Structure 1
Amino acid sequence: MPPRRRGTTGTKGGKEAWMDDDVDAANEVADARFAEVDKAYIGLVGSDDDDDDDDEDNEEALMDVTDDEDDDDEDEDAGGEARREGADAGASGRDGARAARDEAEARAVIEATVSRLKDRQANKVAAASSGATAASRATKRASATGAKKTVRKSEWDSFVDWKTMEHQEYETLSDAEYAKLTKKLALEPEWRPMVSYLTSLGLKAGDLEKMLINCEEVFNRPVSRVITRVEYLQSEVGLEGKTLRQIVNKDPRILLQRNRHSIPRCRYLTKIGVPQDKLADVLGKQPSILHLSVQKGLMPRVQYLKQEVGIAAEDIPLVIQRSPAVLTFSVENQIQPRVEFLRELGISKENVVKMITRHPHLLQYSFEGLGEHLKFLGEIGMNDNEVALTVTRLSQFFSLSVENSLRPKYEYLTGELGGTKETCVKYPAYFSLSLDQRIKPRHLFLEQYDLAPDPFPMKYLSVKDEEFVLRADRTVAEFEEYKEEMIPIFTAETARRALLRQVTTSSEEQRMELERKRAEYMRTHQELARKREYSDRVLKARNSHRMLLRVSNRRSR
């Protein structure tokens, strides 16, 4: 029973004050009940990751709260009866009606809360049964990302994303489209604004799947931050459309980076001479540049290329534009060893500079590939000086395949054109020409008119078609018609020879493998025979020893 207010009497005014105290106390009890109900409700629905068992336990707890409230109501009714014995009949009637109304409202709130919880639990069960495929995809994605945990978006973050998208020109995916993607990729409901924005940039379902596996954190970031990031890449760097999609596919982490981290790297590239309109091409080819430190990553590599290799400052931008990956190579493990390798071949410092400037991809070739090319030049009879001249004059020499390009061209040069290795040293650009589309068509076109010299001049291969046809006193149209007819034949013949060479190589490899297995079998057989012979000797010695023991025992008896 609530305490009486001090100083009150049994008068009518005292009774009204006492009744006001009862109403305040009843309101406090009701507030406490609603607080308990809210607490139980929050415990049930506060986390999306709760199990169904937890939901059932919390629901039982909520029903216990309801039962406790019923008991409290009974106690309060009993106390009210005691108080109402000395109160006015009209006042007690009004108090009873108010208490009944409060009790009815409390029960209505509790019943509505329990109904919502049951509906939510039923929806969870239905979603779990229908989303088995999505769950398996989510498990696969979780195993691919390893033990790395990402912070899920809260309801407030999701609300902010929706409000952000309302002020953008991008359309949100429809329910059907998002449901289709969710079934395929196991997407979360709160990711819908981000997925809508990414699809507006041109990303397809396959691109989103790669991003989920490689960088799921993007989907948990606020949409406003990603929009700001993309707008910076579009306005300042110049990444648009297909280029933007390619760079996001290559390195989705670029969407997580803050603009203040990218600005110094872009400014450094423009400072050393990379044109502003070429930044998009450079970063599109090598987006990891934006993750490198200017002081510890970019500057040391540029300084080494200028000071140690000897590349002029005005040529550094050309090197970067031709091969942006140069800025990601390790100086100690990749750039320096290959530069020293070229110099050990007898190539002068000036020629090494020319080779790297014209073809910077040279710095990323493996030593096995470089050795294979040098072995080919040695097989055709070139000495060290001739090798140095050849690779210096043809910077892309190491990028050409030995078996599919260099060797077939050299065989055609010596077998059909009347050339020698000196021709290769003098005209190394011959190796860069297409065998099926340039060398064979021009040689055989003149040969059909008996106009092909022997040896065949290399200048006939380098001039334009208009000048070449004058040698045969023909028109460009006739030469184009000849190429249209013969180039497919040349291509098929080259493919046939390549296949035959591959089969021959494969057969040789198989023969060597069989010989290796045969030798291994013979060694194993000899080892087994030796062990068997040893076992026979041991067995005979053991039997002899047993016989001696038996004879000795008999004599002792």
Structure 2
Amino acid sequence: MPLTLTMLSFHSPLGSLTHPKPLQTLNPNPALRFLPPVAGTTYISGNDAGLRFREKLLFLEHDLGVNSLRALSLNPSLRSAPLSSLKSLSSLLSSFGLLQSDSSRVLSLHPSLLTADPSASILPAIHFLLDTVSIPFLDLRLSINRCPRLLLSSVPDRLLPSFNFLRGLGFVGRHRITARTTVLLISDVEETLIPKLDFVQSLGFSYTDTVKLVLRMPSLLTFSVEKNFRPKVEFLVGEMGREIVDLKEFPQYFAYSLEGRIKPRHTMMVERGFGSSSISLGEMLKASDGEFRERLLEMRLSSVGEKL
């Protein structure tokens, strides 16, 4: 007699094929129940991983004050960084005297610090500032805030060579590197510091005068030759008709905006009939807008009085 579907389902050891038993009620192989887990294996459910990632994002946003989306975009390694490492970093920065707002700014500017190995970059830089440069501990906060890149700079490849070069240049004694000038330490000697000194000398200054200028105004070594020095010198000589020697008396000229301060002040003088020799660079640039207008008015009245 031929087999029928009814007969097969009745006699099948797997149960009825017309009404199969749900999979969740099937017992697994008893031999597999008691196998120990593979060593080093961590089982994390999708929900747990998601919660941990969300917790990390909340810590970045609310505790560190960092834009998590921007940080993840600039530093993809942050995605796999454990929350514990971020908390340790926060505590480390706090131990240097940084406020929460300071850490927020530093980490927002340089998200790579969020996954940096403190023992390889941050701590060597801190020890260098304290022990070699002799920055007082209470000034660390100022130094880091002024130049967060110090924490990412290699001591043997960048900070130490620059420090030795600057000391040889004359940054010792009362001109020593301080928390306000540690920004100079991140500059490459061959590619940044020397070319800037060479440019100043090319203007006609002796080496001695060049050194005196940068010691008097260390920020000169932070300005770009092409974006600052050259266009301002060309305007000083070509448009204002002044002498290079004026820079020796007032090197702060390079710290003022060409478009926002220098050109407008020069235009005001020309419109009122005054030549470049009528007022010094310092008098022209240091005064506020109101004070400068008053100064020009006084000069105008004085000029009229002399003619009478």
TM-score, length of structure 2 as denominator length: 0.76
Q: Which of 198, 203, 206 is 1:375 aligned to?
A: 198
Please state whether the residue corresponding to 2:121 is helix, strand or coil.
Answer: helix
Aligned pair in 2 of structure 1 residues 290, 99: CA closer, same or farther (>3 Å)? Answer: same
Q: Residues of 1 paired with 2:83 and 2:266: CA distance? A: 58
Please state whether the residue corresponding to 2:205 is helix, strand or coil.
Answer: coil
Shift of 1:367: 2.1
Find out whether 1:235 has 2:62 as its counterpart: yes
Paired amino acid for 2:88: P
Q: Residues of 1 paired with 2:204 and 2:176: CA distance? A: 23
Please state whether the residue corresponding to 2:277 is helix, strand or coil.
Answer: coil
Determine if contact 1:409/1:431 at 8 Å carries over to the other structure: yes
Q: Residues of 1 paired with 2:235 and 2:61: CA distance? A: 50
Find out whether 1:106 has 2:17 as its counterpart: yes
Q: Residues of 1 paired with 2:187 and 2:199: CA distance? A: 20
Q: Which has the higher contact order (CA 8 A, sep 6+)?
A: 2
Determine if contact 2:158/2:188 at 8 Å carries over to the other structure: no
Determine if contact 1:323/1:361 at 8 Å carries over to the other structure: no
Paired amino acid for 1:426: E
Q: Within 5 Å, which residues of 2 pair with 1:217-228? A: 222-228=49-55
Find out whether 1:360 has 2:183 as its counterpart: yes
Determine if contact 2:153/2:159 at 8 Å carries over to the other structure: yes
- Structure 1 residues not aligned, in runs of 5+: 1-72, 78-95, 110-153, 165-221, 475-557
Aligned pair in 2 of structure 1 residues 452, 467: CA closer, same or farther (>3 Å)? Answer: farther
Q: Residues of 1 paired with 2:169 and 2:245: CA distance? A: 19
Please state whether the residue corresponding to 2:273 is helix, strand or coil.
Answer: coil
Paired amino acid for 1:411: E
- RMSD (Å) for aligned C-alpha atoms: 3.1
Shift of 1:379: 0.9
**Which residue pairs with 2:34 in the alignment?**
none
Q: Which of 73, 94, 118 is 1:270 aligned to?
A: 94
Q: Residues of 1 paired with 2:192 and 2:161: CA distance? A: 14
**Which residue pairs with 2:38 in the alignment?**
none
Q: Within 5 Å, which residues of 2 pair with 1:437-456? A: 437-452=260-275, 454=277, 456=279
Paired amino acid for 1:264: S
Shift of 1:257: 1.4
Aligned pair in 2 of structure 1 residues 455, 371: CA closer, same or farther (>3 Å)? Answer: farther
Q: Which of 115, 122, 127 is 1:291 aligned to?
A: 115
**Which residue pairs with 2:131 in the alignment?**
307
Is the helix fraction higher in 1 or 2?
1
TM-score, length of structure 1 as denominator length: 0.44
**Which residue pairs with 1:329 in the alignment?**
153
Aligned pair in 2 of structure 1 residues 291, 275: CA closer, same or farther (>3 Å)? Answer: same
Which has the larger Rg?
A: 1
Aligned pair in 2 of structure 1 residues 451, 422: CA closer, same or farther (>3 Å)? Answer: closer
Paired amino acid for 1:230: L
- Structure 2 residues not aligned, in runs of 5+: 21-42, 299-308
Determine if contact 2:214/2:220 at 8 Å carries over to the other structure: yes
Shift of 1:308: 1.0
Q: Within 5 Å, which residues of 2 pair with 1:426-465? A: 426-452=249-275, 454=277, 456-457=279-280, 458-465=282-289
**Which residue pairs with 1:173 in the alignment?**
none
Shift of 1:350: 4.4
Q: Residues of 1 paired with 2:192 and 2:119: CA distance? A: 33
Aligned pair in 2 of structure 1 residues 254, 423: CA closer, same or farther (>3 Å)? Answer: same
Aligned pair in 2 of structure 1 residues 359, 444: CA closer, same or farther (>3 Å)? Answer: farther
1:391-428, Cα deviation, whole Å (9 max, x unpaired): 23333323333234212322332445454444223311
Q: Within 5 Å, which residues of 2 pair with 1:167-182? A: none
**Which residue pairs with 2:293 in the alignment?**
469
Q: Share of identical aligned residues, percent?
A: 24
Determine if contact 1:315/1:357 at 8 Å carries over to the other structure: no
Q: Residues of 2 paired with 1:446 and 1:296: CA distance? A: 55
Runs of 4+ in 1 over 6 A off after TM superposition: none
**Which residue pairs with 1:389 in the alignment?**
212
**Which residue pairs with 2:246 in the alignment?**
423
Determine if contact 2:241/2:276 at 8 Å carries over to the other structure: no
Please state whether the residue corresponding to 1:441 is helix, strand or coil.
Answer: helix
Q: Residues of 2 paired with 1:428 and 1:450: CA distance? A: 26
Shift of 1:332: 0.5
Q: Residues of 1 paired with 2:141 and 2:261: CA distance? A: 33
Paired amino acid for 1:235: H
Please state whether the residue corresponding to 1:289 is helix, strand or coil.
Answer: helix
Q: Residues of 1 paired with 2:72 and 2:99: CA distance? A: 22
Q: Residues of 2 paired with 1:316 and 1:422: CA distance? A: 37
Q: Residues of 1 paired with 2:82 and 2:252: CA distance? A: 47
Aligned pair in 2 of structure 1 residues 275, 97: CA closer, same or farther (>3 Å)? Answer: closer
1:325-369, Cα deviation, whole Å (9 max, x unpaired): 211111101100111122222332543414x62461651446223
Q: Residues of 2 paired with 1:404 and 1:442: CA distance? A: 20
Q: Residues of 2 paired with 1:470 and 1:429: CA distance? A: 22
**Which residue pairs with 1:351 in the alignment?**
175
Determine if contact 2:170/2:211 at 8 Å carries over to the other structure: yes
Paired amino acid for 1:260: S
Determine if contact 2:171/2:177 at 8 Å carries over to the other structure: no
Aligned pair in 2 of structure 1 residues 349, 244: CA closer, same or farther (>3 Å)? Answer: farther
Paired amino acid for 2:207: D
Please state whether the residue corresponding to 2:177 is helix, strand or coil.
Answer: helix
Shift of 1:470: 0.9
